[in-house]
Amino acid sequence: MKLKTYVLSTLCFLVLLSSCKKDDDDPIVQIPERDRAEQQVIDLDSLQNYLKTHYYNRATFAESGNHSISEIIIKELPKDDSGNYLDMPDPDNNQMLSVAVDIDNPKTIKYRDVDYQYYVLQINEGGGENPHFSDDIRISYSGFLPNGTVFDGSVSPVNFGMVRDGSPNNFGTIQGWQTVIPQFKTAESFVENADGTVSYDNYGLGVMFLPSGLGYFSSPGGSIPAYSNLVFKFELYQYEIMDHDGDGIPSYLEDLAGDGNLENDDTDGDGWPNYLDPDDDGDRILTINEMTRQTYTVDTNNGDQEPVLAEGEFENSRAEKAGIITIKTLKIVDANGDGVADHLQDSVKTDYSATN
């Protein structure tokens, strides 16, 4: 059974504050901020040195199955009495991280005008679907520093909103999570057990190696010093496509600049980015009312297939009774054909809510 979400909405904001989240109850310590581009050069050198001196138990994952983060063992190369690194033990069963992640070909992302380089070890891609950078996710994880200090984690599944939702104490996850998690897929299926737990099959499993600029950069917290590179092991189970402002448009599609940053898309300049603004163009007609509505009825008893939605058309709700599925959608409108949607220009003020 394919899945996108599993009771995320009721649990998402009950999770204890975690280190992978940006918010922290600890007092903020002011650290002089370094140049991000210069720090990235330092961080990359440090990350690469870590990858060249550490290995993991590759053979453990040779057989298919639902492996866990607890099975991922990363160790430093042994040293001689003079402190020089020796060869990796048991090369038939272990692999250097530098080889596993292809150290000469790091992944890159432009963030805050800096080309950041990072590494990902993909142990299992997952059999479900890729979440978007703005979705809510269900995950198990362990976060630690390159020196081995574990600063946070959860063996049991927990839920995170990857971007801030506008509430006072939810600022989303660090940029590294928003960048790496969408590269993995969720579980292919799940089973609800009699004891209330859930078992997942064929979920995403991996490790991310992040420079400080995709983590906390100059902001220390708990056992994480400023300018720390971060390592996260994780199991990705499920996701929920979020519409944070309830305007009918999934939040990831309100990234008009296409740069993975929802905060710099503010059409009406009111200080609220579009994904948190129910009236994107400030024309006093809600975005949801500047889109047309459509209702589809699918009778599965007769073998009916669900409709293929048009470009710019999104499912707003669905209900099923006696094998009959009722799907209601919203569709973006460009009434004057100028290439700009009605809800993004205040000169067009058509309210479709009363007519469809």
- Walk along the chain (356 residues) in steps of 10 and give the mean pLDDT of each run: 36 37 50 93 98 98 95 98 96 98 97 96 98 98 97 93 89 96 98 93 98 95 94 98 96 94 96 97 96 95 94 93 95 95 95 81
Identify the DSSP state of 57. Answer: -
Identify the pLDDT of residue 29: 54
258 within a domain of the structure (yes/no): yes
Q: Do 231 and 264 lie in a common domain? A: no
Q: Do 34 and 64 lie in a common domain? A: yes
Q: Do 293 and 327 lie in a common domain? A: yes
Identify the pLDDT of residue 249: 95
Helices (H), 91-134: 97-100
Half-sphere exposure of 134 (CA within 13 A, CB side): 23
**One-letter identity of residue 157:** P
Identify the pLDDT of residue 155: 85
Strand order in the sheet with 95-96: 74-76, 54-56, 95-96
Cα angle, residue 295 at apex, residues 129 and 341 outer, rounded to 5°: 75
Cα angle, residue 298 at apex, residues 295 and 303 outer, rounded to 5°: 160
Q: Which of 240, 270, 305 is the last residue of a domain?
A: 240
CA atoms of 245 and 276, how far apart (whole Å): 5
- Token output for 150: 């574990």
Question: What residues pair up with 319 in beta bridges, in sequence order?
Answer: 326
Q: Do 227 and 280 lie in a common domain? A: no
Do residues 328 and 295 touch, judged by C-beta distance below 8 A? Answer: yes
354 within a domain of the structure (yes/no): no
Q: Which of 240, 263, 279 is the last residue of a domain?
A: 240
Domain count, the chain: 2
Q: Do 186 and 300 lie in a common domain? A: no
pTM beyond 0.85, yes or no: yes
Cα distances from 35 to residues 40, 42, 46, 91, 111, in angstroms, run 9, 11, 17, 40, 13
- From start to end of the chain, where are the E strands? 54-56, 74-76, 95-96, 107-111, 114-124, 136-144, 150-161, 189-192, 198-201, 204-210, 230-240, 291-299, 313-321, 324-332
Q: Where does residue 282 fall: left (phi above 0), alpha (psi -120 to 50 degrees), or beta otherwise?
A: left
The owner of tokens 């928003």 is: 178
